[in-house]
Structure 1
Amino acid sequence: MGLGCILAPVLVNKLGVKRVLILGSLGWSVYTAALYQNNRYGTEWFVILGAVICGISAGFYWASEGAILLSYPEPHTRARMLAVWLFFKNSGQIIAGAINLATNVKNAKGGKGALTLISFIALQVFAVPVAFLVSGPEKVKRSDGSSITLPNQTSTKEQFRLLWRTVSSKKVGCLLPIFFVRRSLSLYWGLASSHLTLYYSVRARALASFLSAICGVIMTTLLGFFLDNQRIALVTRVRVGGAAVFTLFLGMLVWALVIQHEFETNNPGKLDWTSAGFGRGFGMYVMLNAAGNALQNYLYWIMSLLAAGDVSTATRYAGLLRGIESWGQCCAFGINSSKFSLLYTVVINLVFYVVSLPFALVTLRKVGVVEGYGATGSVEDASAVAEAMARSSSSDDAASVEEKKVEV
């Protein structure tokens, strides 16, 4: 998955972002079908094959999806559009959580049933024709009348050269650690996933999936309105928004450390929503996921500023960062699949997160201040200025003609 994300820009250069998005939507249902086969008949080889197919497909999907998110919206609406994206992304989680909750509402033990998996397969198959409805960048016309800056098709060798330049650049490289850490902590991966599985019943986990998605949508929508507020200077939005989401996520990790210490000192067993003390750890899980969503949206908004609306640049940024997230997720699963104490896992993630912050600040302190970091001189700003100058020049020429007619 991680390698597929990073190499997806090369494929986008050849096929276009829409075709790669369609390819990326094909593998999800295969993996879920393999899980269904394993659930009903105990088949194991199909699960491994389905995971490989889904990983490659998801890599293409994540990179193309990220390119669309970073380049399609107008600059002054990107944070809100990211919140809308998260709403639809979490809508899948909300629907899945609702299905899981409905099919397991009377089930405090056991795993996901075949009916739940069939419902998931149907939703994932439906996503394939929906992907065909997405407009290609050449057909997009924004509400302000502007178009997307389309990149020239280049050779594969040139794409690898540009990819290496992106990886080795300071402004992107300094953000890689925090993307790695963020994915290993929230959204069902790593710490949050392991905590939920160890200490909560099936229907409690379904409820957590449902509520964490809703809280994530609310939090990112409020953040999006702030980040897109044009009455506030860009540099202020970058720094205040960053301080808010970084502090919130740090607070959630400290809360997770406290809860995990309590649970390892006095193991509560499998908690259900009827159990005493259910809300302490459950609330931590929901808020950790919501804080992770807010951090993700903030970081993607920053990347949209750095990409300056260029589809090719946005594809490389999205592919690289989603690939790094995938590897963070992989490491989280590796750690938590062992007999390593979950308390130590929290400590490791907390330390990694704190260490990643100074690196992120190297880039963030320049955003909105230095050219090439979301300040003046972006691709779209330059295009807008050129169009304005052309209109102004045309108006001046027309006025001059009228004046000459009057003189004659």
Structure 2
Amino acid sequence: MAAKGSFFRSVLMQMIIAGFIALLGPGLWNANNSLGAGGALEPYLKTLIAGTLGWSIYSAALYQNNRYGTEWFVILGAVICGISAGLYWAAEGAIVLSYPQHAMRGRYLALWLGFKNSGQLIGGAINLGLNATNAAAGKVSYVTILVFVALQAVAAFLSFLLSPPEKAVRSDGTKIVVDAPTPAKEQLRRLWKTVSTREIGLLLPIFFSCWFYWGYASTFLTLYFSVRARALASFLSAITGTLACVLFGIFLDSDKLTIKTRLRYGFIASAGPFTLLWIWVMVVQHGFEVQKPATLDWSSPGFGRAFGVYIMLQTIGNLVQNYLYFLVGTIGDGTGELSRYTGLLRGVESWGQCASFGISSSKFSPFYTTVINVVFWTLSLIPAVASIWKIEGRKELPSETASDVAVDEKIEPTSKV
């Protein structure tokens, strides 16, 4: 058990701090994008500190564009944010997956995602409060984005509160495995070896397609909804996404099922509804192609049907994110390995998100965008199933104690790849 008075060093405290950073950084960034069009028409810890700096710069660029129409700063801010976010995601993934013992990883992931979604919830509340009287289409108040800039700047200071892995204390007394530093050339070799394995290599397509819906979702809000309806969407989708992830996290940590069973059922429970949802999305979008509706406000006829599309996309999309994090955390252990795995997950899915926004920012038909989403997502399920159905359990680390193994006594040996 953790030593008395060591709560500040506990895994729970580390996850709370990481959660607040996620709330202020990517969480508020998500809130910005939930408005549609951004509201307009150890080395791991050091890396995390550097990775928190880009969010506020990007939001400042959005403020400049919203108020003064400056476009070049948005491009520069996006580049800075992209580089910064890459550093942040690799470090963040190592922390949220390697700090908790495996038997509690699903719950801690849900806690972290809950904080992250709370950023969107708080941002949505700010959006709603400042734009509640705006029932027309168009851009949000620039004050909304200015508030985001101030809040996101706090994230960098919070990152200094995180404990390095050797000082963090797990409740069961097991140690956090810290890989020795390796040269960049060796890291590249290991990265290539990782993507060449059956387990990870076959998951790359679903990493790409799991966030590909974001560009469409943002465009969907911008084209069809009023400013205050977009703010309401940002607020409500955070609540539904958080509740769904909490319940899902409890299931993923259930010791009544083997890891293999949880991985398979978890995949069906997240990917299955997401697949079915796209049928509804295509039906609704096709109707809008036939007859584009007037700007939808919460008092408009047909608002609930279209609004539900966005809420469900974000809610089930969060479940898919939660599952994929749990999956890569099951395949690998150790901070270095998990940094590579989560770096690949976040990097490839961001590549998909970037491609999605690129398509959606053009004059390309939203209906054909949904078709592309369906094709990418459906094709990615095939290699994902081939990978997940071969995973038997997780790697056992030398530093794990008998008590830790006892907690997961149902785990079967991992398969060789």
Name the SS for the 2:65 alignment partner.
helix
Alpha-carbon deviations, 1:213-249, whole Å to 9, x = none? 1100111111111110112222221111211111110
Give the equivalent residue in structure 2 for 1:27: 54
C-alpha distance in structure 2 between counterparts of 1:250 and 1:364, whole Å: 17
Give the equivalent residue in structure 1 for 2:351: 327
Matching residue within 46, 59, 66 for 2:93: 66
- 1:12-91 aligned at under 5 Å gives the runs 16-91=43-118
Give the equivalent residue in structure 1 for 2:7: none
Aligned residue pairs, count? 364
Which stretch of the first structure deviates more once superposed, 234-243 or 70-79?
234-243
Shift of 1:134: 1.3
- 1:212-231 aligned at under 5 Å gives the runs 212-231=237-256
C-alpha distance in structure 2 between counterparts of 1:130 and 1:386, whole Å: 33
Shift of 1:31: 1.5
C-alpha distance in structure 1 between counterparts of 2:65 and 2:404, whole Å: 59
C-alpha distance in structure 1 between counterparts of 2:341 and 2:248, whole Å: 22
Give the equivalent residue in structure 1 for 2:198: 170
Residue identity matched to 1:216: G
C-alpha distance in structure 2 between counterparts of 1:155 and 1:247, whole Å: 41
C-alpha distance in structure 1 between counterparts of 2:133 and 2:363, whole Å: 31
| Matching of residue 351 in structure 1 with residue 372 in structure 2 | no
Asked whether the equivalents of residues 203 and 272 of structure 1 are also in contact (C-alpha less than 8 Å), the reply is: yes
- 1:252-331 aligned at under 5 Å gives the runs 252-308=277-333, 310-331=334-355
| Matching of residue 142 in structure 1 with residue 191 in structure 2 | no
Shift of 1:316: 0.4
Residue identity matched to 1:55: G
Name the SS for the 1:361 alignment partner.
helix
Alpha-carbon deviations, 1:126-157, whole Å to 9, x = none? 11111111111111111111110010112221
Asked whether the equivalents of residues 49 and 159 of structure 2 are also in contact (C-alpha less than 8 Å), the reply is: yes
Asked whether the equivalents of residues 70 and 307 of structure 1 are also in contact (C-alpha less than 8 Å), the reply is: no
Give the equivalent residue in structure 1 for 2:182: 154
Shift of 1:44: 2.9
| Matching of residue 379 in structure 1 with residue 404 in structure 2 | no
Asked whether the equivalents of residues 172 and 403 of structure 2 are also in contact (C-alpha less than 8 Å), the reply is: no
Residue identity matched to 2:386: V
Structure 1 consecutive aligned stretches of length 4 or more whose deviation exceeds 6 Å: none
Q: TM-score, normalised by structure 2?
A: 0.84
C-alpha distance in structure 2 between counterparts of 1:281 and 1:294, whole Å: 21
Shift of 1:38: 2.5
Alpha-carbon deviations, 1:339-382, whole Å to 9, x = none? 21111111111121111111001111122x2xxxx34x4226x6
Q: What is the Cα-based RMSD across aligned positions, in Å?
A: 1.7
C-alpha distance in structure 2 between counterparts of 1:383 and 1:39, whole Å: 52
C-alpha distance in structure 2 between counterparts of 1:31 and 1:387, whole Å: 43
Q: Which protein is bigger by CA-based radius of gyration?
A: 1
List runs of 5+ in structure 1 lacking aligned partners: 1-14, 389-408
Shift of 1:329: 0.6
Shift of 1:49: 2.0
Asked whether the equivalents of residues 263 and 388 of structure 2 are also in contact (C-alpha less than 8 Å), the reply is: yes
C-alpha distance in structure 2 between counterparts of 1:273 and 1:386, whole Å: 53
Shift of 1:260: 0.6
Percentage of identical aligned residues: 54
Matching residue within 370, 373, 386 for 1:362: 386
Residue identity matched to 2:284: I
C-alpha distance in structure 2 between counterparts of 1:249 and 1:19, whole Å: 36
Give the equivalent residue in structure 2 for 1:117: 145
